[in-house]
Amino acid sequence: MVSKKISELENDDQFETFVLIKQAQKRVAKNGKQFISFIFQDQTGEIPGMYWDASNQAVNDFQAGKVVLLKGKRETYKDSPQVKILSIRLPQGSEPSDPATFVKHAPMTKNEMVEQINQTIFEITNATYNRIVRALITKHSDDFFSFPAAKSNHHNFEGGLAFHTISILRLAHSVVNQYPGINAPLLYAGAILHDLGKTTELSGPVATTYTLAGNLLGHLSIMDAEIAEAADNLGIDQNNVDLILLRHMVLSHHGLLEYGSPERPKLLEAEILHHLDELDATIMMIQTALKKTPKGSFSDKIFGLDNRRFFNPKN
């Protein structure tokens, strides 16, 4: 039995390796017996698996955030990879047990990301936007540069939130250079703040889950409230037009009401931010899937893109 990273597994491979439990949900089968629905993770990827006839001890032992030694077989179920669990146990003695070593990281260092965000803040020449962005980035700095941008789908790795934001800012600079008449400070400020509420919505980079506030409020409303609170603390009138425009950028960036935006974009800059956000997330999801797809084949289904499969050309 070989030891392989998750991304290296091919169908019918039998393997033994240490992995992180990213998700563990206790469920009950039709026969009345409980089982655990897992998602296992390492720095190269993740894979689901079912642990049947799970005892209460297994449910207590194998929880999200724990490292385990997994023996299994890589299979395909409904065109998607999964692992058939042969055995699973907790680490012993000096065996790997630190969850942080199994989490994928952003392709930039924290210092590099801090420098890029700070550089853009200098370009936000509107005093209202600048003061609010500085206040909120300072408040959430540690989490902003370590949290993922999502539980799954896109930029779901340590530092993914800041990296996603930087990617959007790079696109935003290109749009500003291409089209005249865009309010660059508003666009940059909205880009920096649009997902900052995820530092409250999500639990962190290891075994990421939604918090109570995340489930009941969502990151758009969370950040809108924080912008309003920051304005009060800075002595900025709630009727200040610039403040209202900035709040609209955050509240409308999902684009459609059914996707969680209480308002559709009604500013040029808000429409741009929505499309740049969608573009960056979509490209990341497709590229992540194609990295695991042999040339000349179709990828696994991508849940965040209507379960479409994408072709990876040979050239």
Domain 6-102 grouped into CATH 2.40.50.140: yes
- Measured in degrees and rounded to the nearest 5, phi and psi for residue 87 equal -160, 160
pLDDT of 153 > 80? The answer is no
Give the pLDDT confidence score for residue 264 in this predicted structure: 96
pLDDT of 154 > 80? The answer is no
- Coil/strand/helix, residue 312: strand
- Measured in degrees and rounded to the nearest 5, phi and psi for residue 285 equal -65, -45
Class of domain 110-287: mainly alpha
- What are the tens digits of pLDDT across the range 16-27? 999 999 999 999
Percent of the chain with pLDDT over 70: 99
pTM to 2 decimal places: 0.85
- Measured in degrees and rounded to the nearest 5, phi and psi for residue 27 equal -135, 170
More confident residue, 80 or 203: 203
CA distance 58 to 285: 33
Q: What is the mean pLDDT of residues 219-228?
A: 97
Give the pLDDT confidence score for residue 104 in this predicted structure: 84
CA distance 149 to 167: 12
Per-residue confidence at 156, pLDDT binned at 50, 70, 90? confident
CATH 2.40.50.140, the chain: domain bounds: 6-102
CATH 1.10.3210, the chain: domain bounds: 110-287
Distances (CA, A) of 95 to 5, 88, 92: 17, 14, 6
- What are the tens digits of pLDDT across the range 176-198? 999 999 999 999 999 999 999 99
Q: What is the mean pLDDT of residues 1-27?
A: 89
- What are the tens digits of pLDDT across the range 85-144? 999 999 999 999 899 888 888 999 999 999 999 999 999 999 999 999 999 999 999 999
